[in-house]
Structure 1
Amino acid sequence: MRVLHTSDWHVGRTFHGRDLLHEQEAVLGGLADLVSDERVDVVAVSGDLYDRAVPSGDAVQLCERVLSRIRAAGARIVITPGNHDSAPRIGVFGAFAEHGGLHLRTTIADLHRPVVLPDEHGPVALYGIPFLEPEPAKHALGVPRARGHEGVLTEAMRRVRADLAGRPGTRSVVLAHAFVTGGASSDSERTIAVGGVETVGADVFGGVDYVALGHLHGPQRLADGLRYSGSPLAYSFSEARQRKSVWLVDLDHGGLAGVERRDLPTPRELATVSGKLAELLVDPVHAPLEDRFLSVELTDRVRPKDALRELQKRFPHAVHVEWRPEGGRPAGMTYAERLGGRTDAEIACCFVDDCRGEPPTGSEERLLARAFAAVAVERRA
């Protein structure tokens, strides 16, 4: 049996305010071609199908189109929710969907009840462990003394292994959404450190043939049978150098036979650049950046006005700007120390100077003076 391991689709996510639905459909729709070309039997989605608990109508429709294409290409689909998803919303109509080849494992009660699919070597059991919030999960699992994510996942895996022990000769795949010790994080993951320590030891997942992990957005191997597929697109500039991909997992009569990586296309690359605004707008060396999502660090001594809007005239996909003046900010007294003994008007002027690197102009000073005078009148009224 061949399993395609993917996760963290985050359908409906924006990138610094930019809608990504077009890019997401371009990549995720291509999974159907991969299913057909690589003769994939099962697609396992290990959490965070959506980016939020209540996804938009457009996000739901995109998922429906992608999942329908994958199913039409011949693969069964197993999905578990992550920390971004709403398990009840994903799991709705699960009993009906299962007859069409879409298996939704969204409840704690079902985590030890696998999706069992046959191949020429016998049965393969796919267990879906939904993301477990430690506090409610420990009571639902009957282990009130369990601590953090490791405690509740330890009990979840105990139940999985107990069920598997009653299925001799059955090979096994576990879908789980967790931060396993040794994994490398990026800036786009939401912390799961609620109710205790967020990390989980790799040994918790022992005793099964393959663990398809979700949550961390970079593809990585913690062991042959313990891997993160990562997200299909980059969701932060810290992921600019990652090669987004999926894992193709082969199971033979003895269990895990091999894992191969397949890189995914990049609809729009990410880049960062640093320099003065005027130079960035004309320097021909930056021409390759004009079609990329761009994060810009401006080094002008004075903070440029409307910098992002100006940059977007040349770089339409510039989405993030930081001002870091060349040579750094002036040293000396702290901001609080510089305010001591000053009038409101002087403090306002100091604030303008601190924010943009130059004091207010004469017209700006007069505007501030009128504003403070109006406030004084209101106080006396």
Structure 2
Amino acid sequence: MKFLHLADLHLGKRVNGFDLLEDQRYILEQILALCDSNKVDAVVLAGDIYDAPVPPAAACTLLDWFLTQLSARRIAVLAVSGNHDSAERLDYAAGLLANQNVYIAGQFRGAPRQIVLSDRFGPVEFTLLPFVRTATVRHYMPEADLPDYDSAVAAALSACAPSAERRVLVAHQMVVAGLCPPQLSGSETAPLTIGTVDSVDAAHFAKFSYTALGHIHRAQRVGSDTVRYAGAPLCYHLDECGMEKSATLVRLGRRGVDDIETLPLHPRRAMRHIVGPLAKLVEHPDDTSDYIWATLTDPTPQPDAMAVLRAAYP
């Protein structure tokens, strides 16, 4: 079985007032092309599908188009909610969507949702753990001793009864390997508390063949090759300028993961950070269709600096 691991689409996001929907449509078209060229069987969406709990109508239309395209290709979709999503809204029509092989776990209801797909080697179990808070797990497990976030996520996973030897976990959490946090980017500044939640030890995922994570925008492994963040498919913050974006292709064999490959994604517009005096920056502008973060180094404030910059870099 081959599946594409994606996360943190943040559909409907605006960066400094710029609407990125066209850029997001462009990157989703690339992802569909990767699905076609690699003949994938499934696509995993590890949370933060939308950028806000109440996304704009155009973002909902874009997601509808993307899921329809995947369904028409007979590609299964396995998705969980992230901390930016409204879990209740993502659960809307989940039963109907399951008839089209689109499986969405928005709300946590006491145990992760488990979906079993099959390939020529037999069943593959996908465990869908949406973004949860400690209080949510305590609500469903009042007798359990859950002093912190790590123990709450461990308890949520323990509610699953494995149904296959090959198991894939889809989760949207802040995961660390021992005392080593992942490499952060964007607005992620605290080492162990990201998005107002505490960290989870990757050791809890040892029984899964592969763990598909969302929440951190930089693609990376966490402790082992089979516990990974896919990263966001587009640059959404100054700290991500120049960062190569990708989708993660996972191949499962008879015993588990056979191969993991990062497939590069190329944005419609690059995001660049330029630094220098205003006059120098606008003297010979290049790649003027890019998104620009400009840091001015003039010793004194320059009149109408934003207007001058926008004339050179629209």
Give the TM-score band, short-chain normalised.
over 0.9
For residues 200-237 of structure 1, what are the alpha-carbon distances to aligned partners after superposition, in whole Å with 9 as ceiling and x for unaligned? 11112121100000000011012121000000101001
- The corresponding residue for 2:23 is 23
Letter in 2 for 1:270: M
- The corresponding residue for 2:116 is 116
Instruction: Go from structure 1 to structure 2 and tell me whether the alpha carbon gap of 1:30 and 1:119 turns closer, same or farther (over 3 Å shift).
Output: same
Q: How many Å separate the matches in 2 of 1:194 and 1:243?
A: 22
Structure 1 segment 30-109 matched on structure 2, within 5 A: 30-109=30-109
- The corresponding residue for 1:312 is 310
- The corresponding residue for 2:186 is 187
CA-atom RMSD in angstroms: 2.0
Question: CA contact under 8 A between 2:113 and 2:129: conserved in structure 1?
Answer: no
Q: Which has the higher helix share?
A: 1
Q: How many Å separate the matches in 2 of 1:143 and 1:240?
A: 47
Structure 1 position 138, deviation (Å): 2.2
Q: How many Å separate the matches in 1 of 2:35 and 2:141?
A: 36
Q: How many Å separate the matches in 1 of 2:194 and 2:281?
A: 43
Instruction: Go from structure 1 to structure 2 and tell me whether the alpha carbon gap of 1:189 and 1:12 turns closer, same or farther (over 3 Å shift).
Output: farther
The one of the two structures with greater contact order (alpha-carbon pairs below 8 A, sep at least 6) is 2
Q: How many Å separate the matches in 1 of 2:208 and 2:281?
A: 53
- The corresponding residue for 2:2 is 2
- The corresponding residue for 1:245 is 246
What is the percentage of aligned positions where both structures have the same residue? 30
Deviates more, 1:207-216 or 1:110-119: 110-119
Structure 1 position 143, deviation (Å): 5.5
Q: How many Å separate the matches in 1 of 2:225 and 2:281?
A: 45
Question: CA contact under 8 A between 2:133 and 2:197: conserved in structure 1?
Answer: no
Q: Which has the higher strand share?
A: 2
Q: How many Å separate the matches in 2 of 1:70 and 1:293?
A: 29
Q: How many Å separate the matches in 2 of 1:248 and 1:133?
A: 29
Deviates more, 1:67-76 or 1:91-100: 67-76
Letter in 2 for 1:244: K
Provide TM-score, normalisation by structure 2: 0.92
Question: CA contact under 8 A between 2:8 and 2:49: conserved in structure 1?
Answer: yes
Structure 1 segment 330-349 matched on structure 2, within 5 A: none
SS at 1:291 equivalent: coil
Question: CA contact under 8 A between 2:186 and 2:217: conserved in structure 1?
Answer: no
Structure 1 residue ranges without an equivalent (≥5): 317-381
- The corresponding residue for 1:155 is 155
Q: How many Å separate the matches in 1 of 2:266 and 2:197?
A: 35
Structure 1 segment 361-380 matched on structure 2, within 5 A: none
Instruction: Go from structure 1 to structure 2 and tell me whether the alpha carbon gap of 1:278 and 1:41 turns closer, same or farther (over 3 Å shift).
Output: same
Instruction: Go from structure 1 to structure 2 and tell me whether the alpha carbon gap of 1:141 and 1:176 turns closer, same or farther (over 3 Å shift).
Output: farther
Q: How many Å separate the matches in 2 of 1:6 and 1:34?
A: 12
Q: How many Å separate the matches in 2 of 1:263 and 1:290?
A: 23
Structure 1 position 189, deviation (Å): 4.7
Structure 2 residue ranges without an equivalent (≥5): none
Letter in 2 for 1:272: H
SS at 1:123 equivalent: strand
- The corresponding residue for 2:268 is 267
- The corresponding residue for 2:226 is 225
Question: CA contact under 8 A between 1:188 and 1:235: conserved in structure 2?
Answer: no
SS at 2:146 equivalent: coil
- The corresponding residue for 1:211 is 211
Q: How many Å separate the matches in 2 of 1:276 and 1:196?
A: 37
- The corresponding residue for 1:174 is 169
Q: How many Å separate the matches in 1 of 2:249 and 2:59?
A: 26
Provide TM-score, normalisation by structure 1: 0.77
Q: How many Å separate the matches in 2 of 1:281 and 1:194?
A: 37
Q: How many Å separate the matches in 2 of 1:51 and 1:39?
A: 29
Structure 1 position 289, deviation (Å): 4.1
For residues 109-135 of structure 1, what are the alpha-carbon distances to aligned partners after superposition, in whole Å with 9 as ceiling and x for unaligned? 274441111111111110100001222
1:301 aligns with 2:299: yes
Instruction: Go from structure 1 to structure 2 and tell me whether the alpha carbon gap of 1:34 and 1:74 turns closer, same or farther (over 3 Å shift).
Output: farther
Question: CA contact under 8 A between 2:174 and 2:193: conserved in structure 1?
Answer: no
